[in-house]
C-alpha cells in the first residue's frame, strides 16, 4: 500500500493490521516512519473499523474476536480464566499509536500513561467480540524533536456491553529510538528515561 493511500483510508482489515505490525504494509514509507503495532500474541486488535480526523481531534474504532484458546486464558487464572484488564488498556495504547502514524506522525510509538481507568466488567473465554471506541481529544506535533503525542478517551465493550472506561490515554511517536539489532548489545539496547 502506498503511504498516501494509508493516510486516506478509514478502515484496515486483519491482513493489513498484521502487515503493519510486521512493517510490511507500506511500500513507500517516508524516512523516519518507524511505527508498528505489536505482533501476535500481544496484538490486541483484529481490525480497525473506523479511523478519522477532525483537526486536532479524531476517532478510532476497532475490534477483536475473543478466542477460547487465547494465551492469557491459559494462565490468568487457573480455574478462573479472565482477560487481564491491562491488555484492554494496552489495546487502547496500540490504537492511539496507530492513529499517530496514520495522521502523519513519524517515529516509533511508546505508551506514555493514562488518567483514570475504571473496570466495571470482564472478558471471559466464551464472549465473542471486544470493541474499542476511542475519541482522540488532542493530537500535537512537537516540532523541536520531530515527535508527536495523541491523547484519547476510550470505552472498551464486550458483546456491546461497556466494561472499561479509560481517560486521557497518551501515546507518543519518537524519533531515533528503535533497537533493530536485538538481541545484540548496542547503543539502544538499554532503557531508561526518555526525553522529548
To the question of pTM greater than 0.85 for the whole model, the response is: yes
Write the burial class of residue 86 (CB in 10 Å: 0-12 exposed, 13-18 middle, 19+ buried).
Answer: exposed
What are the pLDDT digits (tens) for 66-113? 999 999 999 999 999 999 999 999 999 999 999 999 999 999 999 999
Superfamily the domain 3-174 falls into: Hotdog Thioesterase (3.10.129.10)
Q: What is the rounded average pLDDT for all residues in the chain?
A: 96
pLDDT of residue 8: 97
Q: Is the pLDDT of residue 166 over 80?
A: yes
Q: Where are the domains of the chain?
A: 3-174
Q: Is the pLDDT of residue 31 over 70?
A: yes
pLDDT of residue 195: 63
Q: What is the rounded (10 degree) CA torsion for 54, 29, 147, 14?
A: 60
pLDDT of residue 142: 86
Grid cell, residue 27, equals: 511500500
What are the pLDDT digits (tens) for 13-30? 999 999 999 999 999 999
pLDDT of residue 146: 78
The C-alpha atoms of residue 62 and residue 92 are separated, in whole angstroms, by 9
Would you call 14 a catalytic residue per the annotation?
no
Q: Is the pLDDT of residue 196 over 70?
A: no
**Which is catalytic among the residues 22, 76, 126, 184?**
76
The C-alpha atoms of residue 102 and residue 17 are separated, in whole angstroms, by 12
Q: Is the pLDDT of residue 123 over 90?
A: yes
Residue with cell 490486541: 44
Q: Which of 63, 61, 23 is nearest to 47 (CA)?
A: 63
Q: What are phi and psi of 120, to 5 degrees?
A: -120, 10
Amino acid at each position: 500500500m502506498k503511504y498516501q493511500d494509508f493516510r486516506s483510508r478509514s478502515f484496515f482489515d486483519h491482513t493489513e493490521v498484521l502487515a503493519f505490525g510486521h512493517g510490511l504494509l507500506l511500500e513507500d514509507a517516508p524516512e523516519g516512519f518507524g511505527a508498528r503495532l505489536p505482533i501476535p500474541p500481544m496484538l490486541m486488535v483484529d481490525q480497525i473499523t473506523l479511523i478519522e480526523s477532525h483537526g486536532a481531534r479524531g476517532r478510532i474504532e476497532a475490534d477483536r474476536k475473543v478466542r477460547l484458546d487465547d494465551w492469557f486464558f491459559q494462565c490468568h487464572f487457573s480455574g478462573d480464566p479472565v482477560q487481564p484488564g491491562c491488555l484492554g488498556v494496552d489495546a487502547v495504547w496500540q490504537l492511539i499509536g496507530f492513529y499517530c502514524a496514520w495522521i502523519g506522525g513519524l517515529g516509533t510509538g511508546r505508551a506514555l500513561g493514562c488518567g483514570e481507568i475504571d473496570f466495571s466488567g470482564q472478558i471471559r473465554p466464551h464472549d465473542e467480540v471486544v470493541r474499542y471506541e476511542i475519541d482522540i481529544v488532542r493530537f500535537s506535533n512537537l516540532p523541536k524533536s520531530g515527535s508527536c503525542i495523541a491523547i484519547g478517551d476510550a470505552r472498551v465493550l464486550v458483546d456491546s456491553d461497556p466494561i472499561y472506561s479509560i481517560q486521557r490515554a497518551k501515546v507518543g511517536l519518537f524519533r531515533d529510538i528503535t533497537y533493530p539489532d536485538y538481541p545484540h548489545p548496542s547503543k539502544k539496547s538499554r532503557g531508561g528515561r526518555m526525553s522529548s
